[in-house]
Copies of this chain bind each other. A is one copy, B any other.
Amino acid sequence: MNTFDLPSAYRNYIQCLNEQKWSGLHLFVHEDVDYNDQRVGLSGYRNMLENDFLQIPDLHFNIQLLVADTNHVAARLSFDCTPKGIFLGLPVNGKKVRFSENVFYQFHEGKVHKVWSVIDKAAIEAQL
């Protein structure tokens, strides 16, 4: 596994999300995945992502910056999309908003095992 190319694996994971190929999510995400220190598991993680696309039909993950070491990826993701209704507790209601997410991933057995994400809610508030 020393030659495992984490940035490539991560880019394939993001492609999987953007294509909403949920049947392939297990290739990238560990069965026992944690999200922000909560065990959600692969099925919970998939539900979370599916809900994101329900709430934001034009959701697209754009990798703006990617930093990797042997078993971590850190990514700054950018979004330019129109969430429906209340998003992150904010009345976005279909307005076009731009925001970033700074997120860390710890890999285990070649798959995303722990995720620590912060979404720039303040940036969205400033656009409403």
Which residue numbers of A lie inside 8 Å of B, CB to CB?
65, 67-69, 72-74, 76, 88-89, 100-104, 116-122, 125
A67/B69 contact (C-beta < 8 A), A89-B122, A118-B100 known: yes
Do A72 and B76 have beta carbons less than 8 Å apart?
no
Extra A-B contacts (12), CB below 8 Å, given A65-B72, A74-B104: A65-B104, A67-B67, A67-B73, A67-B74, A67-B104, A74-B74, A74-B102, A100-B118, A102-B118, A118-B119, A121-B121, A121-B122
A120 adjacent to B118 (CB under 8 Å)? yes
Q: Is the CB of B89 within 8 A of A102?
A: no
Q: What residues of B have a CB within 8 angstroms of the CB of A73 in the complex?
A: 67
Known: A69-B68, A102-B103, A102-B104. A88 touches B118 (CB 8 A): no
A89 to B62, CA, bound (A): 28
Q: How long is the Cα–Cα vector from A119 to B101 in the complex, in angstroms?
A: 10
